[in-house]
Structure 1
Amino acid sequence: MNDARSELAAAGAHLAGLGLSPGSSGNLSIREGDRIHLTPTGTDLARIDPAALSVLDLTGAHLDGPKPSKEFPLHTAFYRRDPAARAVVHLHSRHAAAVSCLPAWSGHSAVPPLTPYFVMRVGQTPLLPYAAPGDRAQADAMEALPFPFRAALLQNHGPVVAGASLARAVEAAVELEEVCALLLSLGARAPRLLAPAEIASLARTYGSPWTGE
């Protein structure tokens, strides 16, 4: 069995085990060259069959396997905008989905710089205006954003995260869920945010995207 496909199945089981993929929600993909292996429509991430994944090219054309998740445009858009991306994780995790229903902290990040690990592992996370799941125009708008990021919140929907490896994409998705839970637990209280110099130092050291706007 292809190692990338098996890796995808293991990642899905891990995320489901953490409670971040309720029901058949969410979808995962991993890129090999110009081919994308993506979870099919209606897939329970706890039960991904490595031998039954959808195969697409970078334009989104369906090349092989079962019908892909309708949210495949998000995956292909991330791969096209960032050649270093090798995996994409899209979840409906509770706390990140809740934060996606709130006003964005800034134009470049829905989530403020609450913790060093959010800056290090995720970086700025823009809020994309609401669109129905699978909307290609939303994916096109994400692809065209003129500043760097490797995670976004889809308004009233949930997170989508890319990584240079599947392990890093999963790690970032988990960290994003954690910082969103922290943000919600603070309620109306005004937290101390990381200072610009602290953010800049972390972003520089860990190569994370943060433009400060």
Structure 2
Amino acid sequence: MNKRTGAALAALMILATLGGCQLAVPDAGAAGPDMLCGVFATLEPLDFGMEKTVELPPGWNGNPDDIFTDSAGQRIYAQRISGGSGDAGDYVFEGLTGSRLFVAEMAQGNATYHATVADGAITDVHVAYSDADMKLTGTRLFDVHEPCKVYANPVYQTPEGDVYVVQGQGLFFDAPQPEGSCGSTTISASTTVTRDGVQFTQTTEVELKIEAVNTNREIV
């Protein structure tokens, strides 16, 4: 096995433990279920700005990266920015550095439509609809010469239109990597929806791909 193939396989083995994870949709009470609508990709874990439960692993060696922080159930809401004439606006995570990739339901006047929100660091964005289901994919690039940690933080939208993000899983790559090395993680959620008296299951699947490129420019 040559060095190039070995490095690529090592990266894919790491990602294999993360791909296809299933996340439960947070309970939104009687108002209806919150819907998974995308991811917010960050290079660091989300900072919720509040005291968290910290658990030290058995035989902890003093490495702070090995500390488990319980952020389950915590949310960071996006700020809704109103648009001008002909523009329904935008959703922004104020104070957070990362790349947005989600499809939000927006209202403009008496009309409601779905808008794809994707920052420049996310490439090859595709949205596919099949009946009530949706699949969203995008690619986050990283430099072949630099170690990479990307956290795929799930983004949800409430029935009232609010958008929020929760802590997600991390994807880790050592350096150097052969150009073109890639992997992915998939988040999916199914919810039961009732419309016009008809009950059906709606599934959302979001795939974030990670690909190594030969550039020293950091993509944020």
Identify whether the pair has TM-score above 0.5, normalized to the shorter chain.
no
Question: RCO higher in 1 or 2 (8 Å CA, sep ≥ 6)?
Answer: 2
Q: TM-score range by the shorter chain?
A: under 0.3
- What is the TM-score of this pair, normalised by structure 1? 0.28
- What is the TM-score of this pair, normalised by structure 2? 0.27
Larger radius of gyration: 2
Greater fraction strand: 2
